A and B are shown apart, each in its own frame.
Chain A
Amino acid sequence: DTGVSQNPRHKITKRGQNVTFRCDPISEHNRLYWYRQTLGQGPEFLTYFQNEAQLEKSRLLSDRFSAERPKGSFSTLEIQRTEQGDSAMYLCASSAPPGTQGNPYEQYFGPGTRLTVT
């Protein structure tokens, strides 16, 4: 499967614990995005990277959230001191650089990591 992959697919944690999610984008996609989706809502933007540079973070993203993309390939999203309100589906997406074949504007989504904070 050459699509976007995310691990783990499900995570259950107790309030106050730290969690880390991983996203592997489509090979050679230079942009990588993190979104959060709660039940009955559309995905909500969290942050995005161009190669290894984090170019934008949502104002909604508290300082408990941090994301990295150290070598411009996979990315990790860490949530420290989880709260029940962090329970959601965390989606990763990637898009190709300009000039490549296909639709350069399309964001390809991964299957998501479902986080449940008890």
Chain B
Amino acid sequence: GENVEQHPSTLSVQEGDSAVIKCTYSDSASNYFPWYKQELGKRPQLIIDIRSNVGEKKDQRIAVTLNKTAKHFSLHITETQPEDSAVYFCAASKSTGGSNYKLTFGKGTLLTVNP
């Protein structure tokens, strides 16, 4: 089955700096890669996702890049703010016909943005 590795497990940055979180996956058939943000005691919430027919996607301060050949994808957060502090999870899934299946998650990265 799919295996997703995520690094680093913790990341501390100063407000305004950039943060990068990296994930690798094992199943070359995976084609959908979401990133979820989970604040303490809250539900995971999707912040950005990418499908394998795209190499990069941006949404304001957040971007995700995908390298299918190397089977890795990364989350980039620019101009970090204290409210970005949370646990971030990457995930991988196979999707067909407009639906996706189970998500396999990484172990998470605790991001702390220091004011």
Contact = CB atoms under 8 A, between A and B. Distances in A.
Size band of the interface chain A makes with B: 20 to 34
A21 interface: no
Given A43-B89, A106-B49, A111 B43 contact: yes
Given A33-B102, A58-B102, A109-B45, 13 more contacts: A35-B103, A40-B108, A42-B6, A44-B105, A45-B102, A103-B46, A105-B32, A105-B34, A105-B51, A106-B34, A106-B46, A107-B46, A109-B44
Contacts of A108: 46
B98 interface: yes
A16 interface: no
Nearest to B9: A40
Interface string B1-41: 00010100000000000000000000000001010100000
Contacts, number: 69
Given A105-B49, A106-B49, A111-B43, A42 B106 contact: yes
Main secondary structure of the interface of A (DSSP, over half): loop
A107 B103 contact: yes
B68 interface: no
Contacts of A35: 103
Main secondary structure of the interface of B (DSSP, over half): strand
B34 A43 contact: no
Nearest to A4: B43
Interface string A29-51: 00101010000111111001000
Nearest to B36: A109
Contacts of A43: 44, 89, 103, 105
23 contacts: A31-B99, A33-B103, A41-B107, A42-B89, A42-B91, A42-B105, A42-B107, A43-B89, A43-B105, A45-B104, A91-B43, A95-B99, A97-B99, A98-B97, A103-B46, A105-B34, A106-B49, A107-B100, A108-B46, A109-B43, A110-B43, A111-B42, A112-B43
